[in-house]
Amino acid sequence: MFKKLFGLAPKLEEDGSYSPSKLALKLAVKAKTDYTPVSYQKYTGKKSKILVIFTEEKNMKMQNGKLFSTGNHPVEALLPMLHLQNAGFEFDIVTPTGKPVVFEMWAFPKEDKYVKAIYNELKSSFEKPGKLGDFIQNSLNDTSSYAAVFVPGGHGAMLGIPEDSNVGKVLHWAHESEVFMITLCHGPGSLLTTTLQNRKFLYDGYEMAVFPDSVDKQTPMIGYLPGHMPFGLSERLKGLGAKLMNTKSDDTVCRDRLLITGASPLASNNLGKLAAETLLQELK
């Protein structure tokens, strides 16, 4: 009753999951993003494709058994894609099994015309994405067409993806083929796939920006999460040898070799700029 009175109670959804409280939404979700269009000198070469691996899962079971209504964070997905599209790149959109892309629609910036525009433009691809296994079967040897792999953030990126051997195959392929890897916030959970089959962590010693476990531990207090996370991401990556470049959920972005990362939703715009500028420079 106290939490409801002060807007701290997570909202119960029809499927039994919980989305963030009124207070959490007020603090964490903006009607408009900080995105502004950039006039890039568009890429016109052969490596014009970016593989975008979205999660198809919605509900994360917390330690207390409650389900968090999650998915891909729309800002963390669409702002980087806006910059990459403006720089002349196009997208192959996939999910692990070809099921529709799931977004945290409660986090959608409803008054942002740019985010709305690219969402509507790609909506049919979000509803009917490709299957990651098909990409591996048909396109994994096509290194001449792909500039990067992009795994958006959102807590949903920690559902299924970190244990998906196909994601691991793609990340090893990207690393060996000099294809960039772009991810942010909780999307670096995908990097854990490189340790599957008892393999050494591919990004041992790399600098990266990741959403801090310390912040995830605090957010249940304001009702952003309905309980504590099933596992911590940033400390797990640190334990594998990653060098974390941020301690807050801020706008930190980082490039180390072929890995480009960002710390949180606040880094989405900076990550898009860094990724676009890096690809344009490196693919000359």
Provide the annotated active-site residues: 185
Provide the token pair at 227.
């309980």
Cα R_g (the chain), whole angstroms: 18
Q: Where are the alpha helices (DSSP H) in the chain?
A: 2-5, 22-28, 74-86, 113-127, 132-139, 165-176, 213-218, 234-239, 268-282
Tell me the C-alpha to C-alpha distance, in Å, between residue 152 and each of 5, 6, 11.
Answer: 34, 32, 24
Asked if 53 and 132 touch (Cβ cutoff 8 Å), the reply is yes
Burial 263-273 (b: 16+ CB within 10 A, else e): bbbbbbbbbbb
98, two tokens: 């070809």
For 254, the enclosing helix (H) or strand (E) is strand 253-256
> Do 40 and 87 contact (CB within 8 A), yes or no?
yes
Cα distance between residue 9 and residue 226, in whole Å: 8
Q: How far apart are CA 149 and CA 80, in angstroms?
A: 12
